[in-house]
Structure 1
Amino acid sequence: MNNNHVFLNSIAEVSDELFLELQQIARFREIEAGTQIVRLGEIPSKMYMLRSGVIRCYLSTESGKEFNKSFYLPISFVASLTALIKGTPSLFVFETITNCKLYEMDYRKFTILCGKNHKLNELYSKALEKVYMKYESRLVELISLNAKDRYLKLIGQIPEINDLIPQFHIASYLGITPVQLSRIRKKLGHN
């Protein structure tokens, strides 16, 4: 069985027939590091399944300051979800940190398929549940953990983070400065 099919089956049951239908509306792409797959203010039409590499999602202020909201590692779904659902401009930028391999899918074609196939609709629902739980967990971390504990939790989730993601992006994600992150790493012996 195809690895992508195995991944989808880990979320909800996807028959061979349904998997073939999904393949027909998906396109495999290789994207270079530093590419914005969703731009600020763009009305997106695509969703992605990341196979390899790292993507970040960030908010950019009028002054140009960036705040990382999330990191995506394989295998995960990537999309400016609110903008897709509402058909409105994205408030976030999605940018590849490393070279990435991903599957791109037209969101409208996907939702049409969902309307025709109960199992695909179940897969979509389960994937949305996972996204919601991830964001809820992130909110709890930001409210209840100090910077050192947020860093340790992040390392627990992504053990190789210091090799994959630049320190200034990690600091932004944690809501601290790179200098503060450097001090935390030094105290923990992570230098």
Structure 2
Amino acid sequence: MSIQSFDLIFNCSVAKALPAGTILDNSGDIPDKIYLIVKGVMRSYVRLESGKEVTKSLFTPMTIIASFEALLNKTPSESTYECLTDSEIYVLDFTKFKELYKSNTEILGFYAKFLEALVCEKDKKYIEVLTMNATERYLNLRKIIPNIDNLIPQYQIAKFLSITPVQLSRVRGKL
């Protein structure tokens, strides 16, 4: 993407510093923003009827996040997006972004590549959950985010891995 096209996006963005615990989008909200993480770790999660939280994804710097299904369909999000650490982000209004990609083929191309990567990532995660045990998923997470154990609490890592903190302790003990 050219600097001119990048500047168009950048000029429609707002930089924000957020403390840990900040909710970007809440379950039930109809989102209208896209976020780029510059610093920090965030997660998306769903809350089951039992009240249990299930972490869907962890996000690190230089990741674009949003509740895309809700954003595209203008429906309430099923997920909540939360800062797990103090974070710095850029916030982009999705309506303004749509105006940009409708009039700029470079931005449209960037958006298409991003959506392709998102589809591939979701497929990869689905296969990982189906085929890997807890130890393999933990090692894979550490490969993706090498210092994850120093960034967020053990119970958050366990939630992401769909195991209990006790199970995570056992996995770590075996390693």
Q: Provide the residue aligned with 2:53 in structure 1.
A: 66
Q: How does 1:71-82 map to 2 (within 5 A)?
A: 71-82=58-69
Shift of 1:63: 2.5
Q: Provide the residue aligned with 1:7 in structure 2.
A: none
State the superposition RMSD in angstroms.
Answer: 0.8
1:60-112 C-alpha deviation (Å, 9 max, x unpaired): 11222100000000011011110100000000000000111110000011011
Letter in 2 for 1:23: F
Please list every run of at least 4 consecutive aligned residues from structure 1 whose deviation after the TM superposition is greater than 4 angstroms. Answer: none
Letter in 1 for 2:164: T
Give, in whole Å, the separation in 2 of the partners of 1:150 and 1:58. 18
Give, in whole Å, the separation in 1 of the partners of 2:162 and 2:105. 41
Give, in whole Å, the separation in 1 of the partners of 2:117 and 2:20. 26
What's the % identity of the aligned pairs?
39
Q: Provide the residue aligned with 1:137 in structure 2.
A: 124
Shift of 1:19: 1.7
Shift of 1:123: 0.2
Q: TM-score, normalised by structure 2?
A: 0.97
Give, in whole Å, the separation in 2 of the partners of 1:183 and 1:153. 16
Q: Provide the residue aligned with 1:119 in structure 2.
A: 106
1:110 maps onto 2:66 in alignment: no
1:27 maps onto 2:25 in alignment: no
Q: Provide the residue aligned with 2:146 in structure 1.
A: 159
Q: Provide the residue aligned with 2:29 in structure 1.
A: 42
- More divergent stretch after superposition (18-27 vs 120-129): 18-27
Give, in whole Å, the separation in 2 of the partners of 1:17 and 1:186. 51
Q: Provide the residue aligned with 2:167 in structure 1.
A: 180
Letter in 1 for 2:79: F
Q: TM-score, normalised by structure 1?
A: 0.89
Gaps of 5+ in 2: none
Letter in 1 for 2:26: R
